[in-house]
């Protein structure tokens, strides 16, 4: 039996059951399993979609479960999306980032899931953070930092999921994704490997641009709306001062706002960063208090609905923004 026939049999049965219930699987991108010549891949959110499309090329059909402009942390699956997960030949996810998807995969696609968090050990949530005279404070006051509330991790062992903000880590995930696609589609395994290699070259070039561009700067601290940038700050020897912890929806306590404002003044921060998918109000409040401006630093959890770029172009925009804010030469 063809290696890809089993998931298609499951797909047909699942679609039939969903149709009987009046909730046939569908999406703007067409139903999974629609093209027998391509591997049907479901991606959990944008960076994984980018990776699957670049490594898979024209041999894959990729469906992103999160629409542009939506916050991926908040993903709730509708019945059609559960059907897409059940039908997919490969589901690319980051376990713990979207609990609703973790559950759907466990029930419907456990043997066809590629969890990118298993490729390399994830950083602790505090990594890349700023401990200026507050060592251990994030763990002593999880209700203020927001870090203990990140879904999918036990308290005291919170990991930072934002691995894609280090281009070299993303390249390694791409290599492993090529291997996984090659197992699902052996006839085109060499093509997946070649495309992953080409993508690695592009990502290593981007890494070089960041290393050079951020080498000599007047400041190395960035004040951000939530601590999504641990991988970036560790890679390029910066420090992040987070208004909130890993979960961008958490409201910072007044004490935390005062602490961030104080640190922004101490480090002579000229810019308070906010992101595209979350309200900028808190960042604007701190900026007004310390006499700084605001700017977007995109954690690339998803593309904004107006953004016509891709991972590489948004990361380069981030680099230009950082160079300006940190007065890099």
Residue with tokens 């499309």: 53
* pLDDT given for residue 1 in this prediction: 39
Q: Tell me: the pLDDT tens digits for 18-65?
A: 333 333 333 344 444 457 899 999 999 999 999 999 999 999 999 999
Q: What pLDDT, on the 0 to 100 scale, is given for residue 32?
A: 44
Mean pLDDT calculated for residue range 7-12: 40
Per DSSP bridges, beta strands 271-274 and 239-244 are unpaired
Q: What pLDDT does 251 receive?
A: 81
Average pLDDT score over residue span 107-111: 94
Tokens 């080498």, residue? 215
pLDDT in tens, 234-289: 999 999 999 988 776 678 888 999 999 999 999 999 999 998 878 899 999 999 99
- pLDDT digit string, tens, across residues 126-145: 654 554 433 333 333 333 33
Residues 60, 39 contacting (CB under 8 angstroms): yes
Angle at 310 between CA 45 and CA 273, to 5 degrees: 80
> Which tops the pLDDT comparison, 74 or 155?
74
Confidence band of 178 (pLDDT split at 50, 70, 90): very high
Q: What is the pLDDT of residues 194-242, one digit of tens each?
A: 999 999 999 999 999 999 999 999 999 999 998 999 999 999 999 999 9
66-70, 102-106, 139-143, 252-256, range with the lowest pLDDT: 139-143
In angstroms, what CA-CA distances link 223 with 144, 241, 258, 261, 266?
Answer: 16, 5, 13, 9, 12
Mean pLDDT score across all residues of the chain: 83
Q: What percent of the chain has pLDDT over 70?
A: 79
Query: For position 127, what pLDDT does the model report?
Result: 52
What is the rounded CA–CA span in Å between residue 305 and residue 106?
Answer: 30
Which residues have C-beta within 8 Å of that of residue 87, sequence separation ≥ 6? Answer: 7, 10, 11, 14, 15, 25, 31, 32, 33, 40
Please state the rounded mean pLDDT for residues 62-89.
Answer: 94
Interior angle at CA 12, CA 98 and CA 29, nearest 5: 55
Confidence of residue 2 (pLDDT cuts 50, 70, 90): very low
DSSP string of 283-323, one letter each residue = HHHHHHHHT-EEEE----SS--TT----HHHHHHHHHHHHH
């Amino acid at each position: 039996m063809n290696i890809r026939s089993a998931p298609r049999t499951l797909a047909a049965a699942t679609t039939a059951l969903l149709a009987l219930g009046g909730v046939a699987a569908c999406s703007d991108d067409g139903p999974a399993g629609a093209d027998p010549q391509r591997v049907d891949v479901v991606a959990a959110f944008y960076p994984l979609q980018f990776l699957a499309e670049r490594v898979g090329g024209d041999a894959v059909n990729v469906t992103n479960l999160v629409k542009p402009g939506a916050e991926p942390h908040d993903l709730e699956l509708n019945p059609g999306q559960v059907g897409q997960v059940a039908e997919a030949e490969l589901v690319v996810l980051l376990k713990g980032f979207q609990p609703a998807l973790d559950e759907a995969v466990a029930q419907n696609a456990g043997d066809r899931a590629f969890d990118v968090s298993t490729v390399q050990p994830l950083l602790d949530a505090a990594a890349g953070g700023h401990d200026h005279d507050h060592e251990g404070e994030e763990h002593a006051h999880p209700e203020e930092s927001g870090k203990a509330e990140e879904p999918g991790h036990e308290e005291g062992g919170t990991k930072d999921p934002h691995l894609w903000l280090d281009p070299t880590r993303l390249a390694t995930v791409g290599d492993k994704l090529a291997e996984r696609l090659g197992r699902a589609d052996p006839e085109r395994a060499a093509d997946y490997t070649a495309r992953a290699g080409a993508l690695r070259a592009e990502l290593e070039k981007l890494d070089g641009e960041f290393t050079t561009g951020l080498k000599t700067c007047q400041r190395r601290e960035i004040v951000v709306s939530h601590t999504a940038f641990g991988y970036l700050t560790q890679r390029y020897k910066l420090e992040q001062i987070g208004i909130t912890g890993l979960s961008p929806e958490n409201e910072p306590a007044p004490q935390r706002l005062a602490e961030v404002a104080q640190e922004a003044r101490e480090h002579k921060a000229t810019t308070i960063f906010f992101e595209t998918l979350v309200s900028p109000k808190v960042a604007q409040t701190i900026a007004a208090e310390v006499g700084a401006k605001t700017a977007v630093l995109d954690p690339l959890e998803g593309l904004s609905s107006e953004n016509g770029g891709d991972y590489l172009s948004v990361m380069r925009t981030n680099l230009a923004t950082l160079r300006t804010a940190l007065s890099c030469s």
